[in-house]
Structure 1
Amino acid sequence: MTGHQLAVGAVLRRGKDVLLISDPPDWALPGGAVEPGEPLLAKVTHEAGFSSVLPERLLWVARYPAGGVQYEMLGFEVTGVGRHDGSGAWVPLPEAVDRLGQMWFAPIRDPAVSYLTGRARVATLWTWTDLNEPPETHPRVS
């Protein structure tokens, strides 16, 4: 591995809806790579369309190699603060699970879908040593 990259994704809820961001051809949770010196949730705040977001709890940590870089993605449940600017789409939970479940990239798809369907506990660690193989999870995901 030649480097390390931190990334973040977030679940934002409004009633029974979840905020998704169009990332053609997929839908994703707001977030992205965190640049050195950048506030941890800055990308989430920007993509979610709020003036700021407040972290409520850590949902998962996903570790995976890609392109010679070791990634660590933190998934949070957050609350948006301020007026929402209309970014993204508020999607009913079952539809959000379906859209996220179609995403090609397992380190984003699997933790998000497992959490939203109640199959994974809060603060689950997901570790891929090879993206073509299933991950190890701690605690175990049902």
Structure 2
Amino acid sequence: MAAEDSKAPRSRVQLVIGIIRRGDEILLVRESLGAGGEILWSLPGGGVEDGELMHEALRRELHEETGLLVGDPVRTAFLMHIDSERHPSALAAAFEIDEWSGNLTPQDDDIEQAAFFPLPEALELLGELDSATQREPIVGYLTGAVAPGTTWLYRNRGTEETLVARW
């Protein structure tokens, strides 16, 4: 019986990420993302709650983190499947959003600021993310180095992040 208990399934983490553009600018949020708790810039997004579909979670998370009201996604930017010790088999999906309204007024206490940046400056800020899992898919997509809809598979153990496959 003890062996069966140790194989009990753990809850799976599902994340959604939004890409909002204003002309040649990209919306970023500033929050504690660094390995040592550093405040860094990244794309807005967060967890899918039980009973939510991805597009519902995306609208909720983007409203909480930016204050904006957003429409449904128009395309999948990229997918990530991450196996880590803390979150086995986590899935993250990033989506482009074309329709949005409102003012940048973050309502999430974890978000220090939300702002639009010209793409070159946004890429520089995103390049400061110390996790390859957080950085590579975002920068690859925004620079056009990888095709929209690319799937990234990572296995993370301790501080080692390994890109297992990408297609």
User: Is residue 97 of structure 1 aligned with residue 123 of structure 2?
Assistant: yes
1:13: how far off?
0.4
For the residues of structure 1 that align with 2:13 and 2:96, how far apart are their CA atoms?
A: 21
User: Is residue 70 of structure 1 aligned with residue 83 of structure 2?
Assistant: no
For the residues of structure 2 that align with 1:83 and 1:120, how far apart are their CA atoms?
A: 31
Indicate which of 16, 20, 25 corresponds to 2:28.
20
For the residues of structure 2 that align with 1:135 and 1:104, how far apart are their CA atoms?
A: 18
- Three-state SS of the structure 2 residue aligned to 1:84 is coil
- 1:49-68 alignment runs, 5 A limit: 49-66=67-84, 67-68=86-87
Could you say which structure has the larger radius of gyration?
2
Q: Quick check: 1:54–1:81 contact (8 Å CA) kept in 2?
A: no
Question: Which residue in 1 is equivalent to 2:102?
Answer: 83
Unaligned runs of at least 5 residues, structure 2: 1-8, 33-38, 107-113
Identity of aligned residues (%): 29
Question: Which residue in 2 is equivalent to 1:121?
Answer: 147
Deviations 1:21-57 (Å, cap 9, x if unpaired)?
Answer: 0013211101011111232312123223212333110
Question: Which residue in 2 is equivalent to 1:136?
Answer: 165
TM-score by length of 1: 0.87
Q: Quick check: 1:8–1:44 contact (8 Å CA) kept in 2?
A: no
Q: Quick check: 1:45–1:53 contact (8 Å CA) kept in 2?
A: no
TM-score by length of 2: 0.75
Question: Which residue in 2 is equivalent to 1:40?
Answer: 57
Q: Quick check: 2:132–2:161 contact (8 Å CA) kept in 1?
A: no
Q: CA RMSD in A?
A: 1.8
1:109: how far off?
1.2
Larger mean CA deviation between 8-17 and 32-41 belongs to 32-41
For the residues of structure 2 that align with 1:3 and 1:69, how far apart are their CA atoms?
A: 9
Q: Quick check: 1:3–1:70 contact (8 Å CA) kept in 2?
A: no
Larger mean CA deviation between 10-19 and 67-76 belongs to 67-76
Q: Quick check: 1:63–1:72 contact (8 Å CA) kept in 2?
A: yes
Deviations 1:51-76 (Å, cap 9, x if unpaired)?
Answer: 23331100111010230432100000
Aligned length: 138
User: Is residue 6 of structure 1 aligned with residue 8 of structure 2?
Assistant: no
1:85: how far off?
3.3
For the residues of structure 2 that align with 1:68 and 1:112, how far apart are their CA atoms?
A: 20
